[in-house]
Amino acid sequence: MNMSRIRSGPAQRPVNGRGPSRAAAKIGAAKDSFLPARPISLRTLGDYLDLSPATISLVLNNAPGVRSIPQETRDRVIAAAKKFDYRPSFFARSLRRRQSFSIGVLVPELSDGYSVLVMNGIEEVLIEEGYFYLTASHRRKADLIEEYPGLLMERSVEGFIVIDTALQHSLSLPVVAVAGHKALPGVTRIVLDHARAAELTLHHLVQLGHRHIAFMRGQPFSSDSADRWKSLMALAKKLGLEVHPDLVVQLEQNLSTPELGYPAARQLLAQKRPFTALVSYNDIAAIGAIRVFRDYGLRVPDDISVIGFDDVQGALYHTPSITTIRQPLNSMGTTAAQILLDRIRGARKYPDEVPIVPELIIRESTAPPNPHRARKK
């Protein structure tokens, strides 16, 4: 499990002076050579500085009332805290507010490009708001998806963000699901508009002149697979495009590397049915497919155009750079974190579903079909 940084919250107790004690005299006499064997307490630090614990708490927590304290005093507090390696007690703050200032995040795999970009957005908000996050990677194993929420709740998380994770039932805490298509009570779903994504995909290829188009279907366990496929097929029918069964391959492997698309593209070529464009389930599979085409002496986009999905970080820098449907993954992460924190604080109510609008990013991997170049078999 991974954790982000946490920022201490403000203390709200009034500022009161305190006189020196025996502990203060002992610390003062030791001067710079004193280093306590055990962690120093707030009270002992107050005795050493001849200040109240409340004053020190205001300074170290940078609380709203800190500006009423002279800068010289603030400097003394910070210097003493550094000298004796004093840190405010997170657990005391948690007990005082009855909050853990932490959330749980469930992901299929930490290294997956999709999850990484969503996590970047989540981190931006949580670090700014002073929250930990505990991340569990379940590798799409049903038993772990069932078990991990309970383990995280034992660690007092206040809510969950689940990324491309197929929850089967509601949880007792607020939940925000990124790419969560199953409606569950208490779960706010952030879902891409797949009908719009299908329009961007097929209209782009049709306008270029493609009519013989191959498709990679997403893995059954991926949250977006069913909605994306239904949207593509509904629009293909509306546009009068024939989708031949030989030009449809099903992704099955649980991989987050280009190897995902490699066997699927080989299967398409083995069918011996000509096609001029490929709609890949995602950018990672598209990279694997492009490699297969090159291995068979085919050029992208001269012989076959390829369009991906997601716009992961490698899509721009691949050769050729990949035309793709961009999901605003970073902003999906920030939106998820903001919604979850607002739900935890009870500040706002949100609809069950928050739609996200995709964008077509045209790069080098798509072009009009070349009538002078026959696809090699």
Q: Give the predicted TM-score (pTM) of the model.
A: 0.72
The SS3 call for residue 359 is strand
- Burial profile 122-156: b = 16 or more Cβ within 10 angstroms, e = fewer: bbbbbbeeebbbbbbbbebeeeebeebbeebeeee
Q: How many Cα atoms are found within 13 Å in the side-chain-facing hemisphere of 163?
A: 32
Q: Which of 36, 63, 95 is the last residue of a domain?
A: 95
The answer to whether position 198 is within a domain reads yes
- Summarised one tens digit per residue, pLDDT across range 280-322 is 999 999 999 999 999 999 999 999 999 999 999 899 999 999 9
Positive or negative, the CA dihedral 271, 274, 277, 279 is: negative
Whether residue 283 is found in the same domain as residue 339? no
The more confidently predicted of residues 331 and 38 is 331
Does the residue 12 lie in any domain? no
Residue position matching structure tokens 């969503």: 118
Query: Model confidence at 30, in pLDDT bands (50, 70, 90)?
Result: very low
Give 324's strand partners: 308, 361
**Residue 212 corresponds to which tokens in the numbers above?**
């013989």
The model's confidence at residue 376, banded by pLDDT at 50, 70 and 90, is very low
Give the pLDDT score at 86.
78
pLDDT number for residue 157: 92
Joined tokens for residue 324: 């793709």
CATH of the domain at 287: 3.40.50.2300
User: pLDDT value at position 65?
Assistant: 64
Side chain identity at 376, as an amino acid letter? Answer: K
Are 305 and 214 in contact, with CB atoms under 8 Å apart? no
Element (H, E) at 326: strand 323-326
Range of the domain at 118: 98-192+330-356
Nearest of 313, 282, 307 to residue 218 by alpha carbon: 282
Q: How many domains are contained in the chain?
A: 3
pLDDT reported for residue 143: 95
Stated as kind and residue range, the H or E segment containing 192 is: strand 187-192
- Residues 114 and 230 both lie in one domain: no
Q: What's the CA gap between 172 and 175, in Å, rounded?
A: 9
Is 60 domain-assigned? yes
Alpha-carbon distance of 341 to 347, in angstroms, equals 9
Tell me what the pLDDT averaged over the chain comes to.
Answer: 85
CA distance 300 to 306: 7
Residue whose structure tokens are 């703050």:
93
Question: Residue 173 carries which DSSP code?
Answer: S
pLDDT digits (tens, 9 = 90+) for 85-135: 876 655 555 545 557 788 999 999 988 888 999 999 999 999 888 888 999
Q: Could you tell me which residue, 27 or 145, shows the higher pLDDT? A: 145
| Domain C-terminal end among 66, 95, 124 | 95
CB of 78 closer than 8 Å to CB of 45: no
